[in-house]
Structure formats: C-alpha cells, structure tokens
Structure 1
Amino acid sequence: MKKIICLALFTIGLSAYAQNNLPKLATEIAPLLIGEKIPTFTLKSVENKDVNVTELISKKRTVLVFYRGGWCPYCNAHLAALAEAEKELLDLGYQIIAISPDAPKSLKGTDDKEKLNYLLLSDSAGELSKAVGIAFQAPENYKAILNKDSEGVNSSFLPVPAVFILNVNAEIEFEYITPNFKNRISNDLLIAVAKSLSK
C-alpha cells in the first residue's frame, strides 16, 4: 500500500513539475528554429486513430499549424482562411496538418462546423506542443474549457498559435509564431513563402 501511495505522489509531483517547468507566458516560449526537425510523435485523428506525424510529413511538404482549440474564435477564423488557401497550397505540392489540445470528439465538432478538407490531429497531452517549444502555462480562466474540450486530459497548457513549413525530412524551413493569439499569418504571406520554398 505504501508503494502505491508513494507512486501516486511521485506521479502527481512529476505532473506539477512538468506544469511548473512550462513558461508562464506566451512571450517566454523557446520554439524550435529554422533548420531544426519536428520530433516524432503519434497523435490521434478525428476518428480517434493513431497517426504517426513524421510518417505523414515524409510523404509531402507540409504546412503544420498549431492552434489553441475549436473554442477559440480566432483559431476558427484562421482554420477557415487556411481552407481557402488549401487548393493553391495543394497545387504547390503541400499538405496542411492542424494540431490542437482538443480531444478527437472536439476536433470532429470543429471539422464538421468549418467543413475542412485537411487533417486535424489531437495533442491533448501536449507532448508535441511541448517538444516544439510552443506550450506555456494556461491562465486560470482557460483551464475549465481546456479540460472540457480535451476530455479531462489537459487543463494546464496552451500552445502559442504557430505555422511551420516543413520539408519531407520534417525540417523547419519557415515559421510564423504569434504570442498574441489574435494575430495570424495571412494567406498571401503563407502562399508567397510556400511558392518561394517549393522552387
């Protein structure tokens, strides 16, 4: 019994340490840089199936988007804008993958509402967001919605909205990271950069 209690306390301690280890503010993050590689992770799809992110990226140049969740109106506007740019990006040889802390069920709600053709993936535990260096401690007023939309997995972190353009080796060729969540990359700039990198 002592062992179980010690193990439980150790797990809680690790969780608290991981949370406290995250930057407190969006402006304090330390993201991966151009030339660095996105780490290998398996995330969940809208259908709750495992998806190996590196394997997907190896098939096609990728516009990798991190957003806060389907509850965020600025994120939904950005996802809808990306849908408008998708045909041109596809014609340039890219795919779009968008990742948030939302659980698969919440992703499905966003997918159905926004009628998106590109892939949404769940990073509810924040493993990829943390590895990429864009996660920070969620302010208190966000914790309830994060907990609800991640189905109890996340109430502690938020990703800073970010767009990465990757080659098939998962190397970052461009990044646009906005600690002010109200600001997002324009389609014109994204397509101009995608064109330039695809030459």
Structure 2
Amino acid sequence: MKKIICLALLAIGLTVNAQNDLPKSATEIAPLLIGEKIPNVTLKSVENKEVNLTELITKKKTVLVFYRGGWCPYCNIHLAALAEAEKELLDLGYQIIAISSDAPKSLKVTDDKGKLNYLLLSDSTGELSKAVGIAFQAPENYKAIIAKGSEGVNNSFLPVPAVFILNENAEIEFEHITPNYKNRISNDLLIAVAKSLNK
C-alpha cells in the first residue's frame, strides 16, 4: 500500500514538474528554427486512428498549422481562410495539416462545421507542441475549455498559433509564430512564401 501511495505521489510530482517546465506565457516560448526538423511523433486522426507525422511529411511539401482548438473563434476563422487557399497550395505541390490539442471527436466537429478538405490531427498530450517549442502553460481561465476539447487529456497547455512550411525531409523552411493569438498569417503572404520556396 505504501508503495502505491509513493508511486501516486511521484506521478503527481512529475506532472507538476512537467507543467512547470513549460514557459509561463506565449511570449516566452523557444520554437524550433528554420533548418531544424519537425520531430517524428504519432498523432490521432479525426477517425481516432494513429498517424505517423513523418510518413505524411515525407510524401510532399507541407504547410503545418498549429491552432488552439475548435473552441477558439480566431482559429476557426484561420482554418476557414486556409480552406480558401488550399487549391492554390495544392497546385504548388503542398499539403495542409492542421494540429491542435482537441481530441479526435472534437476535431470531427471542427472538420464538419468548417467543411474542411485538409487533414486535422490531434496532439492532445502535447507531445508535438512541446517538442516544437510552442507549448506554454494555459492560463486558469482556459483550463476547463481545453480539458473539454481534449476529453480530459489536456488541462495544462496551449500551443501558440503557428504555421510552418516544411520540405519532404521534415525540415522547416519558413515559420510564422504569433504569441498574440488574434493575429494570423494572411493567405496572400502564405501563398507568396510557398511560391518563393518552390523556385
């Protein structure tokens, strides 16, 4: 019994330390830089199936988007804008993959509501957001809403909204990271960058 209590306390302590290891605010993050590789992780699809991110990225150049969740109106506006740019990006040889801490069921709601054709993936544990260096400690007033969106898996972190353009080696060729979640990259800028990287 003592052993179980000790293990439980150790687990709680590690969780608290992991939370404390995250930057306290969106302006304190230290994201990966241009030229660095996006780490290989397994995420979940809308259908709750495991998806190897590197396998997807090595198939074609990728516009990788991190958003806060389907509960965020600014994220939904950005996802809808990406849908408008999708054809042009596809014509340039890119695919769009959008990632949040929402659980697959919540992703499906976002997907259906936005009638999105591109891929949405779940990073509920934050493994990818933390590895990319864009996760930070969620303010108290967000914890209930992110816990609901992730079906209880996440109640501690938020990703800073970010867009990465990757080559087939998973290397970052461009990044747009916005600690102010209300500001997002415009389609015009995104397409202009995608075209310039295509030359």
Secondary structure class of the residue paired with 1:12: helix
Query: Which one is further off, 3-12 or 66-75?
Result: 3-12
Secondary structure class of the residue paired with 1:180: coil
The within-5 A match list for 1:55-66 is 55-66=55-66
Question: What is the count of residue pairs matched by the alignment?
Answer: 199
User: 2:34: which partner in 1?
Assistant: 34
Task: Name the TM-score, length of structure 1 as normaliser.
Answer: 0.99
Using the alignment, how far apart are the partners of 1:58 and 1:198 within structure 2?
16
User: 1:84: which partner in 2?
Assistant: 84
Q: 1:151: Cα distance to partner?
A: 0.3
Secondary structure class of the residue paired with 1:120: strand
Q: 1:70: Cα distance to partner?
A: 0.2
Task: Name the TM-score, length of structure 2 as normaliser.
Answer: 0.99
User: 1:182: which partner in 2?
Assistant: 182
Deviations 1:98-146 (A, max 9, x none): 0000000000000000000000000001000000000000000000000
Secondary structure class of the residue paired with 2:175: strand
Query: Which one is further off, 1-10 or 125-134?
Result: 1-10
Secondary structure class of the residue paired with 2:71: coil
Using the alignment, how far apart are the partners of 1:147 and 1:31 within structure 2?
24
Letter in 2 for 1:75: C
Q: What is the percent sequence identity of the aligned residues?
A: 87
Deviations 1:159-179 (A, max 9, x none): 000000000000000000000
Deviations 1:5-57 (A, max 9, x none): 11111111111000011000100000000000000000000000000000100
Using the alignment, how far apart are the partners of 1:187 and 1:49 within structure 2?
30
User: 1:94: which partner in 2?
Assistant: 94
User: 1:50: which partner in 2?
Assistant: 50
Q: 1:198: Cα distance to partner?
A: 1.1
User: 1:69: which partner in 2?
Assistant: 69
Deviations 1:166-196 (A, max 9, x none): 0000000000000000000000000000000
The within-5 A match list for 1:79-158 is 79-158=79-158
After TM superposition, what 4+ stretches of structure 1 lie above 2 angstroms from structure 2?
Answer: none
Using the alignment, how far apart are the partners of 2:94 and 2:139 within structure 1?
35
**Aligned-CA RMSD value:** 0.4
Secondary structure class of the residue paired with 1:43: strand
Letter in 2 for 1:72: C
Unaligned runs of 5+ in 1: none
